[in-house]
């Protein structure tokens, strides 16, 4: 079973809605710049003027991150940070000295576990072996490389800044330097055939990374791809690719442990597992999201999305306006939100969850979710039973393939 933190020995809940103990805590740091914007991307990423990495205001942004963290400390005081994820954007556009400075700051201000998984996202188009090595020396122990494809035609169609040779070179260097490497791949790409999708996957498998994330390309609203959709494989072809991805990775020894995530045994991404187990995370940086629990509330946070507004809110105006932008939006989760959001995360996991985890993370009795659980079970989307000696609730194979349908059953009001 997947480790989801030490919740099993927790004493009985005090009152419905109250947590007995805070969940494990992770830290997410958002570095929001990219050389240019990929046409399918709806992340909070901002193209650099003139595609020039030296245009990143590294020092000012680091100061803003430090201020952001300092302000957040009372909310996480004394808690150990079990993982750090530096995501983007393209964090590998930041100099190794800046990443080193960032990690020193995080370790100084927070109680970071000596065993913390520390991931940095990197782009093969912003790859230098010496810089990767310096990231490792700064304390990064897991590299997540956004390869997406090894096929030159598909990389061009995706508007990626790297070519196939750079993808291979960056992956090889990452695997030499880091013990834990994730390769991000996408399938159902414009004009892609099943055999081309298989070739991408086989190239990745030959490199033997500990972890592979394989995403179905989707057209997200407000992206150039949504405005002018490219010719994509139809639903049947995309479903064949998904099946091929699952079978090929399973045959190569990768466990399919979450909707899009595959890992060699014991090599799951601990940071992402914490999200899926409805753990807590503090998010700092422009547009970063967080989820923090205290004994009687669970709160979601979102920071200002635009880097300039984010820095101005924390460090003061660099322009002429007197109005200071708002840094933070917060939303307290209702009971219905807690049920839905727990299920939305935990049912992504192939192995699902232990019912006690639900109660420990939401502060609510599982009885409140019983009508939806029963309905999902009756529709063949959910399984309940004893696995590895523990009670367990997990999506059925059908539930995994029709995950949205399953999750909708837990929507408030349904």
Question: What is the contact surface with ligand SF4 in residues (CB under 6 A)?
Answer: 34, 37-38, 41, 43, 45, 88-90, 123, 146
Minimum distance of ligand SF4 from residue 125's CB (angstroms): 8
Give me the count of residues in the chain: 414
Of residues 47 and 250, the one with the C-beta less far from ligand SF4: 47
Of residues 37 and 384, the one with the C-beta less far from ligand SF4: 37
Residue 375 and residue 380: Cα distance in Å, rounded?
9
Q: Which of 80, 142, 137, 140 is nearest to 112 (CA)?
A: 80
Which DSSP string do the residues of 76-101 spell out, in sequence order?
HTTPEEEEEEEEES-GGGS-HHHHHH
151 near 196, Cβ under 8 Å? Answer: yes
Minimum distance of ligand SF4 from residue 203's CB (angstroms): 20
Longest dimension (CA), the chain: 64
Minimum distance of ligand SF4 from residue 41's CB (angstroms): 3
Of residues 25 and 183, the one with the C-beta less far from ligand SF4: 183
Of residues 146 and 233, the one with the C-beta less far from ligand SF4: 146
Of residues 40 and 257, the one with the C-beta less far from ligand SF4: 40
Residue 262 and residue 255: Cα distance in Å, rounded?
5
Of residues 152 and 371, the one with the C-beta less far from ligand SF4: 152
Of residues 37 and 79, the one with the C-beta less far from ligand SF4: 37
Of residues 23 and 32, the one with the C-beta less far from ligand SF4: 32
Minimum distance of ligand SF4 from residue 282's CB (angstroms): 21
Count CB-CB contacts under 10 A for residue 368.
16
Minimum distance of ligand SF4 from residue 42's CB (angstroms): 8
Minimum distance of ligand SF4 from residue 271's CB (angstroms): 17
Of residues 22 and 159, the one with the C-beta less far from ligand SF4: 159
| 3-state SS, residue 194 | helix
229 near 182, Cβ under 8 Å? Answer: no
Q: How far is CA 56 from CA 94, 112, 275, 326, 333, in A?
A: 8, 27, 29, 22, 35
Minimum distance of ligand SF4 from residue 159's CB (angstroms): 8
Minimum distance of ligand SF4 from residue 172's CB (angstroms): 20
For the chain, the first-to-last Cα distance in angstroms comes to 31
Minimum distance of ligand SF4 from residue 184's CB (angstroms): 9
* DSSP-derived pairing of the beta strands 211-216 and 261-263: antiparallel
Q: Per 3-state DSSP, what percentage of the chain is helix, strand, and coil (rounded to 5)?
A: 40, 25, 35
Residue 244 and residue 240: Cα distance in Å, rounded?
6
* Class of residue 13 by CB neighbours under 10 A (exposed 0-12, middle 13-18, buried 19+): middle
């Amino acid at each position: 079973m997947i480790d989801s933190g030490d919740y099993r020995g927790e004493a009985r809940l005090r009152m419905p809605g109250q947590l007995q103990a805070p969940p494990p805590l992770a830290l997410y740091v958002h570095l929001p710049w990219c050389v240019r914007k990929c046409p399918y991307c709806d992340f909070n990423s901002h193209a650099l003027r003139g595609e020039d990495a030296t245009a990143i205001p590294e020092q000012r942004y680091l100061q803003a991150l430090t201020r952001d963290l300092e302000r957040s400390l009372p909310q996480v005081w004394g808690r150990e940070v079990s993982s750090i994820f530096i995501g983007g954007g393209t964090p590998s556009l930041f100099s190794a000295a800046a990443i080193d400075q960032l990690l020193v700051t995080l370790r100084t201000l927070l109680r970071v576990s000596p065993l913390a998984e520390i991931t940095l996202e990197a782009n093969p188009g912003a790859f230098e072996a010496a810089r990767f090595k310096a990231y490792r020396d700064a304390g990064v122990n897991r590299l997540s490389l956004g390869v997406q494809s090894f096929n030159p035609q598909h990389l061009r169609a995706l508007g990626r800044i790297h070519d196939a040779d750079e993808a291979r070179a960056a992956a090889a260097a990452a695997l030499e330097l880091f013990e834990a490497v994730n390769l991000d791949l996408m399938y159902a790409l414009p004009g892609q055939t099943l055999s081309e999708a298989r070739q991408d996957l086989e190239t990745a498998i030959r490199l033997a990374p500990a972890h592979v994330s394989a995403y179905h390309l989707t057209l997200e609203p407000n992206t150039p791809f949504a405005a002018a959709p490219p010719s994509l494989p139809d639903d049947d072809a995309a479903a064949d690719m998904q099946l091929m991805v699952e079978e090929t990775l399973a045959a190569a020894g990768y466990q399919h442990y979450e909707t899009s995530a595959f890992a060699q045994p014991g090599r799951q991404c601990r940071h992402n597992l914490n999200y899926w187990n409805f753990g807590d995370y503090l998010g700092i940086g422009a547009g970063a999201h967080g989820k923090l629990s205290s004994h009687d509330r669970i709160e979601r946070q979102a920071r200002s999305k635009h880097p300039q507004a984010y820095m101005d809110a924390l460090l003061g105006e660099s322009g002429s306006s007197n109005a200071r932008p708002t840094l933070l939006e917060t939303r307290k989760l209702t009971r219905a939100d807690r049920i839905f959001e727990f299920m939305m995360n935990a049912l992504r996991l192939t192995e699902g969850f232990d019912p006690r985890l639900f109660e420990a993370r939401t502060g609510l009795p599982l009885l409140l979710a019983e009508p939806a659980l029963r309905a999902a079970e009756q529709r063949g989307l959910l399984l309940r039973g004893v696995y590895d000696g523990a009670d367990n609730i997990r999506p059925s194979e059908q539930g995994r393939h029709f995950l949205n349908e399953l999750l909708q059953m837990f929507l408030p009001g349904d």
